A and B are shown apart, each in its own frame.
Chain A
Amino acid sequence: ETGVTQTPRHLVMGMTNKKSLKCEQHLGHNAMYWYKQSAKKPLELMFVYNFKEQTENNSVPSRFSPECPNSSHLFLHLHTLQPEDSALYLCASSHPGDSYEQYFGPGTRLTVT
């Protein structure tokens, strides 16, 4: 285990649903990340939070809405998704002081029907 947990592990939702993905890290890190992993594509960085402040939004559609209430928790709120949004959504955390290392959670496998 990396110290980063994600729930749920699997999610099937319709295009009109609203759901949320949750990430929690127990490593004392201050930076948290959302990535999208699709087949045969590089991991795509979606959002970065540093000390609870969003520092990066990588041109992500507004149907994805992140929330970082504190340095240990990160959410990704989903609404009116499209089938092409089906992917593995990975959360990661890091301590941005001296270390570049990012620790990943197991991911949420999202299927949009």
Chain B
Amino acid sequence: GENVEQHPSTLSVQEGDSAVIKCTYSDSASNYFPWYKQELGKGPQLIIDIRSNVGEKKDQRIAVTLNKTAKHFSLHITETQPEDSAVYFCAASTGNSGGSNYKLTFGKGTLLTVNP
């Protein structure tokens, strides 16, 4: 089955700096890669995702890059703010078309701390 490795497990940055979290996956059939943010006491919230037909996607201060050949993808947060502090999870899915369910395999998470 799919295996997703995520690094680093903890990341501390100064406000305004950039943060990068990296993930690798094992199943070359994976074609969907979401990133989730989980704040204390809340469930994971989808913040950005990328499909395998795209190499990069950006949404304001957040961007995700995908290298299918190397089987790795990364989350980039620019101009970090204290409210970006949370646990971030990457995930990968092979997906299924035709109305079937989508099984996500998650990384272990990265605790990001943005220091004011």
When distances are taken between beta carbons in the complex, the residues of chain A under 8 Å from B89 are 42-43
CB distance from A97 to the nearest CB of B (A): 6
Given A31, A42, A101, A104, which contacts B107 in the complex, CB threshold below 8 Å?
A42
The B contact surface, by secondary structure, is loop
Tally inter-chain residue pairs, CB-CB below 8 A.
67
Closest to B90 in A: A42
- Chain A: interface size category: 20 to 34
On whether A104 and B101 interact (CB within 8 A), knowing A40-B108, A42-B106, A43-B106, the answer reads no
CB distance from A28 to the nearest CB of B (A): 14
Given A4, A56, A101, which contacts B101 in the complex, CB threshold below 8 Å?
A56
Do the beta carbons of B99 and A96 come within 8 Å of each other?
A: yes
Do the beta carbons of A106 and B101 come within 8 Å of each other?
A: no
Given A31, A45, A96, A103, which contacts B46 in the complex, CB threshold below 8 Å?
A103
B residues near A (Cβ < 8 Å) are 4, 32, 34, 36, 41-46, 49, 89, 93, 95-96, 99-109
